[in-house]
Structure 1
């Protein structure tokens, strides 16, 4: 499909995509959201096992003992088997700088870790890549059979670290998260991103910066766009710190982009989508929004948009510490302001813990659904590090059928109720009602809730 066809189709949409960035808006994609790590990694492993040519992935955090579904073993077990079949298997791992050490469980290529790879006889290729300063390489992506007719990408926020939500039980360390499978022309842009990062990985010239190959090796950029696999409009978007990469070779069918100056298309997309929302905004994110996003959410509330924001019920310790600082007052005031609107709900989720109570489920997802027709899924949190420092990747798409189905799946998990018979506005109002009722039950010690969601006071979040 040529650009004029995309423009004609896009003119019927209310949510604008990004006009300038590394990657263009493309039609002809197949999109499949994958909710929580069990289903997501099951599907990814199936794709790896069916691969005929290559398996490439970018990893931020990992737990060596994390087990893939259905007895497939660890991440390295999956990759070793693929390499043993003769596939081209490559991984880009983040290597923290001294100022970012201790930020998550990174496989940074220590001597012990490299000895472990040797003991396994691992033959896949690795490059380690640093980020700028105290930021991190936060992209989570898989690419299967890059450049082949059945090229398939997976983009999202799930690390191979924690168990996903399990019906009827919520234990310590359990998380809720989302990935999206993409097949079609936009998978080519995930391919381009991987090659750009691989060729300029910061540690490629270091003795301990590569595994299984020479750091002098360069990969060719893709030269053609993958065939159409569906009917969804999709754009791959990134945040990249200035000065991190320099080769601006354009993606096939795309325009030359000055990547050396950095990229902020995910941030720009969030702003444009919130500004254009007419009925509903549903957000799941690991962080409460930065002021630049919160202010636009308040403007949407003023014009009557229904908004639900799902975040971790128990925020990370740095949120609590930040709340105690005098210079944080205006930040939390903007979040508190959202709670003054009847059409807004701040929510968390918690499941039965087997002891008569509830345990919080950590929300690690980074998604937004707008008007039951447009969505973004990826690695980008709504905090300043992700929006202005980390390397991130999101897939933003327009497909009312897929978005509505995703909304129904998520709300079924969180509310214990099918909202398929409701439109998006009625569904979010139902969310607010159930979350409020569950909060009242929690306050009086009654944990016999409907679903998992409960409302929280924005003015008290993080105290």
Structure 2
């Protein structure tokens, strides 16, 4: 597919979705109304009540003639049962696996993963954010339920999001021919009409032409900030340039707030983030640790003019290795909606750290140990990124080690989820 530079698109309407309670009903409703095409990318697909519900709506869509492509990551989604896969493929769903690892090293390929979360329906409505198709994005999952966000999109930007998603599966559509074929992705799909006032851009990160696009967007926004910055991010361990951008914004009087993990689902993530707390707080950055549940969001806003929602964390894996996708937004109404979600989170659900709590980190930095560990951890992914990049395969799920004898579907659990889904659809989305 021909290379396209990211570009601003006018006339879009955006709806902020919080957690699975708002995201899953919105996505499933759009799938049920699909007439021509469904594109889905997800890092994680589990065979739990969410995965079972997704299977049912996708299989029904495929049986009524909709072209359905779902791509999962071979590291993030390693255990799908043969029955689950066949229930999709027998209905006509094209289930792809991004870079499946060999069977004997299924858990040993954590680098350069497909970490994006994208859904596009009929080229008319799109979804992008940080929410996977798994039950741990629902509050009834318990204390480990994740706090996260996504956005529903109507308008011309959906065409750009569709091209982005089609590009991932283009190798799978070649049917192993040795000569390249053009993917007629736009054939018969008109650019959607203007639906709102938001100005947006789809920005991706890959290991070829867009290695630092998302990080560069963050830095540009921080340099332009005048009053306020709020960043909510799950895995926080940015590099020197992004740290300096945050410090400089705070030093010139911008109110910079970070909402980070206080109860992480990956323990080392909090330890890594703590290594840079002292540097930031001494520059005037305010750090809030979210302590109700694991923070999984990847959102930010700057003043009233800039926001982003997507899949990219601010850590070395997302910024240097993984395939990521974020929506960059210029829309005052959306910033107000996002601020209305994040401000109560800071005030009611977070612990605000004080500079005195970072004294231990300061001591380690003075000895040089902290600086050494920081630079090794920070630059290790960049060293990996300089290694030759091979074309990562997209394979049918049935031909990969992803298919194993995993958890069997539980009919009662699926019925309970369908009942809950119907109830959620009757409630308005804020």
- Which category describes the TM-score, using the shorter chain as reference length? 0.7 to 0.9
Shift of 1:221: 2.8
Instruction: Note if 1:241 corresponds to 2:207.
Output: yes
Match of 2:233 in 1: 285
1:136 aligned to 2:100?
A: no
> Residues of 2 paired with 1:43 and 1:50: CA distance?
11
1:4-403 alignment, distance < 5 Å:
22-67=5-50, 73-96=52-75, 104-106=76-78, 113-118=81-86, 121-130=90-99, 134-146=111-123, 151-164=124-137, 166=139, 171-201=142-172, 205=176, 219-222=183-186, 225-242=191-208, 261-291=209-239, 292-315=241-264, 316-319=266-269, 333-342=275-284, 344-350=286-292, 361-403=293-335
Q: Is the 8 A contact 1:162 1:175 kept in 2?
A: no
Contact 1:34 1:178 in 2 (8 A): yes
Distance in 2 separating the partners of 1:217 and 1:93: 23
Cα distance, 1:202–1:86 mapped onto 2, change above 3 Å = closer
Between 1:172-181 and 1:77-86, the stretch displaced more is 77-86
Deviations 1:202-252 (A, max 9, x none): 99649xxxxxxxxx997413265332111110000000112xxxxxxxxxx
Q: 2:246·2:285 contact (CA, 8 Å) conserved in 1?
A: no
Match of 2:352 in 1: 455
* Structure 2 unaligned residues grouped into runs of 5+: 101-108, 362-369, 371-430
User: Between Structure 1 and Structure 2, which shows a larger proportion of helix residues?
Assistant: 2
TM-score by length of 1: 0.67
Matched residue of 2:294: which SS? Answer: strand
In the alignment, the residues of structure 2 paired with residue 127 and residue 165 of structure 1 have an alpha-carbon distance, to the nearest angstrom, of 25
Task: Note the C-alpha offset of 1:349.
Answer: 3.1
Q: Displacement, 1:311?
A: 1.4
User: Offset at 1:94?
Assistant: 1.7
User: Deviations for 1:139-169, whole angstroms, at most 9, x for unmatched residues?
Assistant: 10000012xxxx1110111011244464xx8
Deviations 1:280-316 (A, max 9, x none): 1111111124133222111111011112211111232
TM-score (norm 2): 0.72
Total equivalences in the alignment: 343
Distance in structure 1 (CA, Å) of the matches to 2:220 and 2:175:
37
RMSD over aligned Cα atoms: 3.1
* CA pair 231-218 structure 1, distance change in 2 beyond 3 A: same
**CA 1:133–1:314: 2 relative to 1, 3 Å:** closer
> Residues 63 and 91 of structure 2 are in contact (CA less than 8 Å); yes or no, is this contact kept in structure 1?
no
Q: Secondary structure at the match of 2:58?
A: helix
Distance 1:52 1:203 in 2: 24
Q: Secondary structure at the match of 2:322?
A: coil
Instruction: Tell me how far apart the structure 2 counterparts of residues 231 and 380 of structure 1 sit (CA, whole Å).
Output: 25
Matched, 1:405 2:352: no
Unpaired stretches in structure 1, ≥5 consecutive residues = 1-19, 97-103, 207-215, 243-260, 324-330, 351-360, 415-430, 435-450
Whether the 8 Å contact between 1:31 and 1:182 is mirrored in structure 2 is yes
CA distance in structure 1 between the partners assigned to 2:173 and 2:211 by the alignment: 18
TM-superposed CA distance for 1:342, in Å, is 5.0
> Would the alpha carbon gap of residues 337 and 21 (structure 1) be closer, same or farther in structure 2, given more than 3 Å must change?
farther
